[in-house]
């Protein structure tokens, strides 16, 4: 976890631990976000899947 004295206020979803993180965060490579709130961060994988479906549809 980072100990940034001025942490980003966003919420993140950790793809390795499957936990939502705020203020103190793990390595960036493991994170999706930032999201505006905890509830949205908890939906990170669902949001990513939907964005991928939309992008794939646009490619077709």
If one compares 20 and 1, the residue with the highest pLDDT of the two is: 20
Query: What's the whole-model pTM score?
Result: 0.80
Q: Does residue 22 fall inside a structural domain? A: yes
Q: What is the pLDDT of residue 17?
A: 97
Q: Does residue 3 fall inside a structural domain? A: no
Q: Does residue 55 fall inside a structural domain? A: yes
Q: Does residue 50 fall inside a structural domain? A: yes
Q: Does residue 33 fall inside a structural domain? A: yes
Q: What is the pLDDT of residue 43?
A: 98
For residue 3, what are the CA distances in angstroms to 7, 25, 27, 49? 8, 8, 12, 31
Q: What is the pLDDT of residue 31?
A: 96
The pLDDT tens digits for 14-45 are 999 999 999 888 999 999 999 999 999 999 99
Region class of 7: left (phi > 0), else alpha (psi between -120 and 50), else beta: beta
Parent domain of 36 = 11-59
Whether residue 4 has pLDDT greater than 80: no
- When computed from its CA atoms, the radius of gyration of the chain, rounded to whole angstroms, is 13
């Amino acid at each position: 976890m980072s100990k940034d004295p001025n942490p980003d206020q966003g919420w993140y979803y950790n793809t390795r631990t499957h936990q939502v993180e705020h203020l103190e965060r793990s390595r960036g490579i493991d994170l999706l976000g930032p999201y505006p709130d905890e509830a949205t961060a908890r939906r990170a994988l669902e949001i990513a899947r939907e964005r991928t479906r939309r992008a794939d549809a646009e490619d077709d």
